[in-house]
Amino acid sequence: MNLNLYPPVTTAYAAPEVLEGASSTIESNIWGLGCLICEIIALGGVPFVYRHYVAKCQDKYFGSNDEGKLKLLLQICGKCDEPLDTKQASNLAQFLQKIFVMDPSLRPTTKMILECLNDPKFLASEL
């Protein structure tokens, strides 16, 4: 058996296109970064779990309108030990919404993500 034909994939972090057989790219890794951010925020919960093929849950996510997507991401962001305030959760959910897009070419670049994370207003709390 040639193991090179089956590159290792962690399905919980894999972008939809990778799960469908496409090669891993920087854009698909951006998706995985979004999953990792969700897992860190939720202290161990990943956003697309409980299935052998992740697309089933992603259909629920991507079948939603923008308001539905934001609501789902807000639920994920609200599961942390020290819940984010409304503004922080909304900013984070909008950030993740930009990462979790089906078209890889529309995902933010690493430079865009770093700029966002370095912005002091990004996760500023409501005062």
Closest CA to 48 of 27, 40, 119, 56: 56
Q: Residue 80: pLDDT above 80?
A: no
Q: What is the DSSP letter of 8?
A: -
Residue 84, pLDDT score: 64
Residue 51 binned pLDDT confidence (cut-offs 50, 70, 90): very low
Task: Name residues whose C-beta falls within 8 Å of residue 1's C-beta, 6 or more positions apart in sequence.
Answer: none
Q: Is the dihedral of CA 76, 49, 65, 68 positive or negative?
A: negative
**Which has the higher per-residue pLDDT, 40 or 99?**
99
> What is the second-level CATH architecture of the domain 8-108?
Orthogonal Bundle (1.10)
Residue 9 binned pLDDT confidence (cut-offs 50, 70, 90): low
Q: Which of 52-56, 110-114, 121-125 has the highest mean pLDDT?
A: 110-114
